[in-house]
Structure 1
């Protein structure tokens, strides 16, 4: 369960922070979610996703939480729809459905990180942009089921086919900008280790900005949660404590996604997910990712509400190991050997830093 049961005072402050007009602070979790969606009650699927948009949907990803589809928005831009069943009694992909209280945690963090692109002191575009938010009721639409089947035939799905939901099932639809392809599925497609170095720099900078502005910890930054897309921009800028910095893109832009385990603070209110009793999460074997969950717990003493920015450094260490082990299209020219050595030095030394901010400021690779 999330560590998120705001009393009247903190909820009203949070509402101010999230600029959602709301006079009555004594709302149920359902009403809070509807308010975040700009709705009074759940709508029908086709009221939120118009039929021509449904027809163009393609499944692009999945998790135990639910499904991710791409489609176009009213402006013709590609967007990603993260569709999460909530509040129902049906077991989905082996898990209980999220409650409104739990989904509120992800909505709030998604909004806060998306709005970092507009901040005056600490600004970044590297967290996925949240474009829209809906709460819908009803069975899974046929167009989405067809897209689900195509994905299953081509790639194989680990999820249950979402055809068992009844007419009264509720879903939250988070509509994000299209951020590209995740690192795991980019293996073998990126040009060289020079690109990997830029990716690591962009991720570190984004985490530093969020640490400074929001006391943010991602807590689940595995290579499926880092998206990359090609860009013609040569450099990419961010603001850290009022100072503008830039990174060479090497032809890619990073977007960080999935905040279901994340933690941040707005004013004096902490929004976090208490995973202290989720034993299964800490029992994984076979990849460094699973060690990171145990290392985080070791560092925070299984208290998930306090700020421990070194967890971001643990994930940078993990991401560096993945980037070093990935395959690349080309040798990367004369600089490739030097870049591999730089990344290896980063891997050997990054854990000494107390936060992503400290790593960004002091790590030789970023100077």
Structure 2
């Protein structure tokens, strides 16, 4: 616990990195449940409400082992725990350090009583989210690989699980460096590879996501969450409204074009970032290629169709 570092936060929980018993760096997502205290202005989730995210996390994590549609593009779920008690002092110290360096939008989690329950999801460590990567570590060639890897992951999940992420803002795309030159995936039984350009992508946070397992739909009904659709000032908030327009505010049905909306958004963010060595002919050509993707991607009905037909991925 003494090695824990807060690395992220959401409305319903905190995320810390630490080392597990095997010595591997892992990420712990800690979510208070079933309590009467409001957390960050919201009612705590019940066990039933959190089940949706647990099921989706497990299904997407297991895509790396499938024989027909396979990808490593979703964060690996190692373990799941339910614990009871107050927040440990080491985690509060880590929370304070994060707040001091970056500023937190969440309440300091020091108000929980000894009977408070928490769900802890233990994930592989996926790196730094795009929003906090500062862009300076990457080239436009890396940006293209990131977009390719995200599209692949979404396409594989569409084919296997009829998946929509529904909240794929740049804080939910993790990137870490790798010496691995190529990444592999299976789409409908066919093997493919892509160039990593030195980075691996992991998609996280399925609190709004939707998928199907054995004809059972697992989704989050946000039809009455009016606040989510009222945000202004960033393209991200427009995407929530565009999704609602496409599905008629029915969040159980399958509309894979929502994944394309998020690819459009991600491309806009990648184009807005600063890059090393952004002069030169090669960089200019790559920017033009990414701009063409941004201009044309919305015509595709799904991430699968974009992957198969977009010139940038051929």
TM-score of the superposed pair, with normalisation by structure 1? 0.85
1:99 and 2:34 aligned: no
**Which residue of 74, 85, 100 maps to 2:21?**
74
Residue 68 of structure 2 contacts residue 187 of structure 2 at CA under 8 Å; is this kept in 1? yes
Secondary structure at the aligned position of 1:188 is classed as coil
CA distance in 1, matches of 2:179, 2:164: 30
Runs of 4+, deviation exceeding 3 Å: none
- Post-superposition offset of 1:190: 2.5
Identify the match of residue 184 of structure 1 among 123, 127, 131: 131
- 1:268-324 CA-to-partner distances (Å, cap 9, x unmatched) read 100000000000000000000000000000000000001000000000000000000
Q: Distance in 2 between matches of 1:366 and 1:157?
A: 38
- Distance (Å, rounded) in 1 between the aligned partners of 2:173 and 2:138: 17
In the alignment, which residue of structure 2 is the partner of 1:309?
256
| Residues 32-59 of structure 1: CA deviation (Å, up to 9, x unaligned) | xxxxxxxxxxxxxxxxxxxxxx111111
Moved more, 156-165 or 106-115: 156-165
* 1:126 alignment counterpart: 73
Is 1:258 the counterpart of 2:219? The answer is no
CA distance in 2, matches of 1:302, 1:352: 22
Deviation at 1:329, TM superposition (A): 2.2
Contact 1:190 1:329 survives alignment (8 Å): yes
Give the CA deviation at 1:188: 3.0
**Is the aligned partner of 1:136 residue 2:68?**
no
**Correspondences of 1:97-246 after superposition (within 5 Å):** 97-246=44-193
Contact 2:257–2:301 (CA under 8 A) maintained in structure 1: yes
Considering only CA atoms, is the larger Rg found in Structure 1 or Structure 2? 1
Residue of structure 1 equivalent to 2:296? 349
Equivalent position of 1:298 in the other structure: 245
Alignment counterpart, residue 360 of structure 1, candidates 292, 307, 313? 307
SS in 2 for 1:113: helix
Q: Which runs of 5+ in 2 are unaligned?
A: none
Distance in 1, Cα, partners of 2:35 & 2:22 = 33
Q: State the 1:189 CA deviation.
A: 2.9
- Alignment length (residue pairs): 314
User: What are the within-5 Å matches in structure 2 for residues 272-287 of structure 1?
Assistant: 272-287=219-234
Answer with 188-197 or 137-146: which moved more. 188-197
Structure 2: distance between partners of 1:248 and 1:335: 17
